[in-house]
Structure 1
Amino acid sequence: MDKENNTPVVTRRPFSCRRDSLTIRGYVFRTGTEVLPAIIICHGFMADQRSVKHYAEFLAGLGMAAFTFDFCGGCLKGKSDGRQSEMSVLTEVEDLMAVIEYVRQRDDVDHEHISLIGFSQGGVVCALTAAKIPDRIERLILIYPALCIPDDARRGRMMFAKFDPSNIPPVISHFPMKLGDVYAKAVINMNIYDEIRGYDRPVLLIHGTRDEIVDISYSRKAREVYKQCEYLEIEGAGHMFSKGHDRIAMDALEKFILSKA
C-alpha cells in the first residue's frame, strides 16, 4: 500500500510462455497476492508492450492482473522471438491463444474471469480470438481496432506498403519493417465481420472520430454485429490517443469493467 496516497502498489513481474518453438515474453502488472481476474492487453502493429504499459498499470489499479506481451515478429524492438517476415494477424492470434492458456494455468488468476483488450491490429487479434473461444473470454475491449486490414490487403495497400493483390510479392516493403507475403495472404479472403460475430458476450468498442489510419465506419459496422456492445466515439481523437483521449477511454473502461463485475 502506498501510504501517501492510500492506494495499492502495482508491481510488475516478467513472464514467458511458448508458441510452438517461439518464446513469448511479457509482464504481469498487479497488486497484492490474492487470486485476481485477468486481462490480457494486445499492442498494435509495429508497436510493443511498452505502448500499453499505462493501460496495464491502470487496470492493475482496478484490481486486475494485467498481462502485456510482445507479439512474435510483430514489433520493431520486441522481446519475444519470431521474424517480422513470418508475422500475420493469424500468427498473432496463435500468440494470444498461447498467452491465454498460460494465464489459465496460473494459480493467482481467476480462470472464470479473463478478458481481452486490444489496440489497432491488436484489437483485430483480440476480436478474432474471442470469437474462437467465447466461453473463455468474459469481456472484450477494442480500441480503434484495425478491422480494415482484410480490405487493405484486397486493395493492395496496407499502411505505406503497396503491392499487386493478385500477385503478392514475397516481401512487402513497409519501412522500417519487412513483411512477408503471409501478412497479406492470411487475410485477403477474410470477411472480418463474419469472423468476429461469434463472440456474444459484453464488448466495449472505442474509436476516435478523426482516425486517419482506420476509418471509423469499420467500428460503426462492428457495433451492429456484436450482440452486447457498448460503443464510444471520442470526438477529435485520431489513431493512437493523446493523454486526454486516453483518460476518456480509461473512464469508459473503468465503468465497463465495474458494471460487469
Structure 2
Amino acid sequence: MGGVTSSIAAKFAFFPPSPPSYRLIADDSCAGKLVIPEVPRRDDVDVLKLRTRRGNDIVAVHVKHPRASATLLYSHGNAADLGQMFPLFVELSLRLRVNLLGYDYSGYGQSTGKPTECNTYADIDAAYQCLKEQYGVKDEQLILYGQSVGSGPTLDLASRLPNLRGVVLHSPILSGLRVLYPAKRTYWFDIYKNIDKIGMVNCPVLVIHGTADEVVDCSHGKQLWELCKEKYEPLWLSGGGHSNLELYPEFIKHLKKFVITIGKSKATNGSKKHMVDSDSQSKPSEVGTSDTFELGADPPEVSRNSLDSRLEKSKKSNKPEKSRMSTDHVDRFRRRKGLVW
C-alpha cells in the first residue's frame, strides 16, 4: 500500500506548464544579457540562470524596488512558471515595497532537469545563495514566500535558517500524502513533510488560506498555523479557492501589514506585538473594500494563479471534496486530469 501511495504522490506532485510559457534568450545588444521576450522588458528586473548543487540550471528573475524594506524569495505553485508569474512578481514588489526573487523549479519553464522533491530543495538553496552572494541580502532582511507546493521548499529552507525576517505560507500543504488522504502519521515515503518542519521555524509566520479551497483543504493551513512557534495573525479568506486569493482585497492589505509589522519588529529588537492568540483567530477574516489587488493591463488570467486553469474548469460547484482519498480509489484518481497543488 505504501509503495503504491508513494508513486501516486510523486506522479501527481508536479505539473510544469507544457509547453513553457516563455523563452530565454541572450540579448547581443546588451552584452549577452538574458531576457524573457514574452514579458515587458524592465530596467529594474534581472533575468538570471543559477546552477544548483544537483547540476541543474534554473531560471530566476530579480525585481528591484528603489526603496525596498525587505527581500521576498517566492516559491510558486505547481502548474505555473516564470512567464505566467512575472506580472504578479512585479505587482507584489511595487505594492509591498520589497525586492523579489522568483525562480522556476528544475524541469519548469526553461530550467533544466526534472521536478523532484530533492531538486526543489536544491533549487531554493541556489536562489538563496544568489540573494546572499550577488545582492548582499542578509537573513534578517529575507522573507520566504511559499505558495501551495512551494510551501515545501520554503519550509525546508526556513527550518534551517534561524534569523529570517518572516515566512508566508499561501495555501500550504501539511505534506504531499496528506493532500491525498488524511494520514494520521508521517510515513517515510511521504513528500514535503511540512507538518514536521514548521516547528523548527523561528521567525513570524503568516498563513493565508481560502476556506473553500477544493484542492488543499483549509485545514492544512490551520494546522500549520497552530504548530507555528511565532504566530502572526492568519488570513482565512471566506469563500476563497486555491487559485484566486490574490483577487481578494484583503489579500494585499494583510500581506502589506505583515511586511510592515515584522520590519518594525526587527528594528525594535524583536518586539512580540504581532503575536496572536489562537482563540482570537477562530473566525475567517472578512474581505475588505480597499486595497484591491490588480495586475497591470490585461495580464493573462493564469498569471494570477499557480494552478492549471484546466483544473478549475473541470470542477463543479456541487462536486464533493476529492483532494483527499485512499489508495483504493487509485483507478478513479488516475482518470482525472491531475491533482494539482
Runs (5+) with no aligned partner, structure 2? 1-41, 264-341
Q: Are 1:147 and 2:181 matched, yes or no? A: no
Runs (5+) with no aligned partner, structure 1? 1-8, 157-184
Alignment-derived partner of residue 260 in structure 1: 262
Q: Are 1:81 and 2:112 matched, yes or no? A: yes
CA shift in 2, pair 1:68/1:92, >3 Å: same
CA shift in 2, pair 1:102/1:36, >3 Å: farther
Q: Are 1:103 and 2:131 matched, yes or no? A: yes
Structure with the largest fraction of strand:
1
CA shift in 2, pair 1:195/1:217, >3 Å: same
1:25 to 44, 59, 62: 59
Instruction: Output the CA distance in 1 between the equivalents of 2:119 and 2:59.
Output: 15
Q: Is the 8 A contact 1:128 1:195 kept in 2?
A: yes
Instruction: Output the CA distance in 1 between the equivalents of 2:79 and 2:254.
Output: 26
One-letter amino acid matched to 1:72: S
Q: Is the 8 A contact 2:175 2:193 kept in 1?
A: no
Alignment-derived partner of residue 248 in structure 1: 250
Q: Is the 8 A contact 1:29 1:57 kept in 2?
A: yes
1:47 to 72, 80, 84: 80
Tell me how far 1:199 sits from its aligned partner: 0.2
Instruction: Output the CA distance in 2 between the equivalents of 1:117 and 1:45.
Output: 14
Q: Which protein has greater RCO, CA pairs closer than 8 Å, 6+ apart? A: 2
Instruction: Output the CA distance in 2 between the equivalents of 1:219 and 1:57.
Output: 26
Aligned-pair identity in percent equals 23
Tell me how far 1:90 sits from its aligned partner: 3.0
CA-based RMSD of the aligned residues comes to 2.7
Q: Is the 8 A contact 2:176 2:192 kept in 1?
A: no
Alignment-derived partner of residue 115 in structure 1: 143
Instruction: Output the CA distance in 2 between the equivalents of 1:91 and 1:67.
Output: 18
Instruction: Output the CA distance in 2 between the equivalents of 1:194 and 1:113.
Output: 25
> TM-score scaled by structure 2?
0.57
5 Å-filtered alignment, 1:60-209, equals 60-61=93-94, 62-73=96-107, 75=108, 78-83=109-114, 87-107=115-135, 109-110=137-138, 112-135=140-163, 137-152=164-179, 187-188=189-190, 191-209=193-211
Tell me how far 1:88 sits from its aligned partner: 2.3
Structure showing greater Rg: 2
Instruction: Output the CA distance in 2 between the equivalents of 1:250 and 1:35.
Output: 17
Higher deviation after alignment, 214-223 or 56-65:
56-65
Tell me how far 1:192 sits from its aligned partner: 3.3
Tell me how far 1:244 sits from its aligned partner: 2.5
Alignment-derived partner of residue 14 in structure 1: 47
> TM-score scaled by structure 1?
0.73
Tell me how far 1:194 sits from its aligned partner: 1.9
Q: Are 1:238 and 2:245 matched, yes or no? A: no
Q: Is the 8 A contact 1:19 1:95 kept in 2?
A: yes
Tell me how far 1:211 sits from its aligned partner: 0.4
Tell me how far 1:108 sits from its aligned partner: 5.4
Q: Is the 8 A contact 2:174 2:193 kept in 1?
A: no
CA shift in 2, pair 1:191/1:51, >3 Å: same
CA shift in 2, pair 1:55/1:252, >3 Å: farther
Instruction: Output the CA distance in 2 between the equivalents of 1:186 and 1:42.
Output: 24
CA shift in 2, pair 1:152/1:215, >3 Å: closer
Q: Is the 8 A contact 2:63 2:101 kept in 1?
A: yes
One-letter amino acid matched to 1:64: V
Tell me how far 1:69 sits from its aligned partner: 1.1
Q: Is the 8 A contact 1:38 1:110 kept in 2?
A: no
1:137-173 residue CA offsets vs partner (Å, 9 max, x unmatched): 22100100122413246789xxxxxxxxxxxxxxxxx
Q: How many residues align?
A: 216
Alignment-derived partner of residue 162 in structure 1: none
Q: Is the 8 A contact 2:49 2:57 kept in 1?
A: yes
| Runs of 4+ with deviation above 6 angstroms | 153-156
Instruction: Output the CA distance in 1 between the equivalents of 2:172 and 2:191.
Output: 19
CA shift in 2, pair 1:153/1:111, >3 Å: same
